[in-house]
Structure 1
Amino acid sequence: MDEALLRTLTPTVIGILVRRGADFAAAEDAVQDALVEAVRVWPDDPPRDPTGWLATAAWRKFLDAARAETSRRHREVRVESEPPPGQGEAEDDTLWLYFLCAHPSLSSTSAVALTLRAVGGLTTRQIAQAYLVPEATMAQRISRAKRTVSGVRFNQPGDVATVLRVLYLIFNEGYSGDVDLASEAIRLARQLATKTDDEEVAGLLALMLLHDARRPARTGPDGRLVPLAEQDRSLWNTRLIAEGVDVLQTALARDRLGEYQAQAAIAALHADARTAEETDWVQIVEWYDELVRLTGSPVVRLNRAVALGEADGPRAGLAALAELDPALPRYTAAAAYLHERDGDPVTAARLYAEAARSAPNLPERDHLMRQAARLNAQQRG
């Protein structure tokens, strides 16, 4: 059973049902039911035309549901007889589905869940496991999202930037359960890159590839977080790095810079350094300057302050950090690092411990506590 093929076919088959007259919510439900049937049937009886098989099975599921609804409501509902899949149904609705699932009326969490279902082809159970929530909770979230976007029709191009934010959110969730969301986000970004000629789509794909290339070195054998400077770079995936750099260079050559391209350029500079000491921090600061110009983001300014501390010394980084709001996420951790670099272990240890108390996840909290403990031990010694 080729689950990757099923996921790839999902948006196409949803599009077929919608063009036949099904609303989005009903079409998506019917396709999910057809996917379950495919998992059961295909291993023993693989179809010659997988798309046609799924379209036929999903349309039957839709008709069955529509007829059941008719019986419940005791009124007639017009449903067309089953048309055979033909050449006219070869149209690809994947891009439309991306825009639909990232509709501005949806919250970020709902948009992510709906994208994983309708475009990614994941089951509700898989999505729930990935986000560590009960399946019933995820089912309600997806159901509400489908009701929100049912009947929406696009008469103008959708917002690619919103789609990219949803994919970036998926990527940053990493992985848990039996679904690797980072890999899923990369697969969807590759798919999107074939549907639209947009430099930022390429920029996001490059950024994902370059970050994912470092995944094998991010944690030690005991599961502890390994900072970038301490990672074993021989574990980095050179194939993904080469692909990411190639995708990025092609996008940058078109001279329409966006924030994902700039982020990818920073990731590429890290990937290009054979050791942490060889990192071109001066050029990284220049790319952060571009990111600040493009986004004005305080988080970008914080990351720039850390990079400036590497390029021009910790005092310069601390001066840049002092201009920012201390309530920013990871502000205290950045301050701790720069104070340690500046030769002030007492302040650094206190700040590491303080940062650990507000860390967003257990691995990061554990890392910050170990940093504080290390400095405290050095002072006692």
Structure 2
Amino acid sequence: MNINTRDSHAPYILACAHDVPETSYTQHEVCDNLGIKDGRIRSIFINSGISKRHLSIKEMAKSEPNAESHGEMLNRHEYSALELGANAINKCLTKIGKTVEDIACICCVTSTGFLVPALSARFCQSLGLSEFCNRIDIVGMGCSAGLNGLDAVKNWSVVNPGKLAIVVCTEICSAAYLEDGTIATSVVNSLFGDGASAAAVVSEPADKILPAGAVRLLDKLSLTESEGIGMMKFDWNDEQHKNSFYLSKDVPYVVGSKVEKVINRLLGERSLSVSDIDHWIVHSGGKKVIDSICINLGLTKNDLRHTRSVLNDFGNLSSGSFLFSLERLQNEKTANKGDLGVLMTMGPGAAIETALVQWAE
């Protein structure tokens, strides 16, 4: 579909890539390793739409599921986030024939560990990036943050045409696990996995040759439902001496009730409707969240096939989940030149982030 492209130098996502820990566990294995025998809790794991998750935990201690101290978990986050993130970045660069020397801007997204200096500075050191590399860190925005990171490098790319920017979402969710036997904690422990995803972004003249499957970033729109600010939160647990993540059972309904509003506004600015969108790349937030989005937007299971398959194979990967789905769509090679797509992420706030994209012509 031909739509009005307001800027001939609009940025493009050239390629995506990911990396996950070698160690993976089925949901049954996680339950067994955590010593979960309560049928209600086991059913939360088994009926989650997830077959397995990759975790940076080499061995789960059956007798001591909370054996790691808070400091040890933060150390594991730092080590694993840098390792997986670097691998995802290098895989992404290989796809477009670039090297780390070509990176002029790096945006690091994470919510599963806090570091000062932040990840961007540590990647500069570990990858050997230029001392003049522009750095952006987005910390604490949760599952929606990947699109915020993409928007940040999009804006940077507009004023730095031809220069390569990298977004890397690296989340070690298992470094934020806490086991206390409650239903609320079990929902979190049943859902999240570890992994990193990276995207290469550049703004170039329209006549520049682009790699097959390049995606043009057009519009971005956020919605924040302030009344839902307590529905997803990361708080300190005095009893366990660790941070713990809380996820309300009402999240799918809040997302569902607001998703039509934000999508209609995003598309309406270009006189588009849901039926005009060829591809939906949505955060793998959980089975109920995905079902709620489908119902409220009138989408089919096929529309969100990559979202569901990423959830099945990896669990909820927080900020980088949607890039896993976009990578699968690009690998599938079913998108045609000029096709329109919507990227969507959801997270604490309560926030829904959306973007309109178009496959390069």
TM above 0.5, yes or no, is no
- Bigger RCO (CA 8 Å, 6+ sep): 2
TM-score (norm 2): 0.25
Structure showing the higher helix proportion among its residues: 1
Structure showing the higher strand proportion among its residues: 2
Rg larger in structure: 1
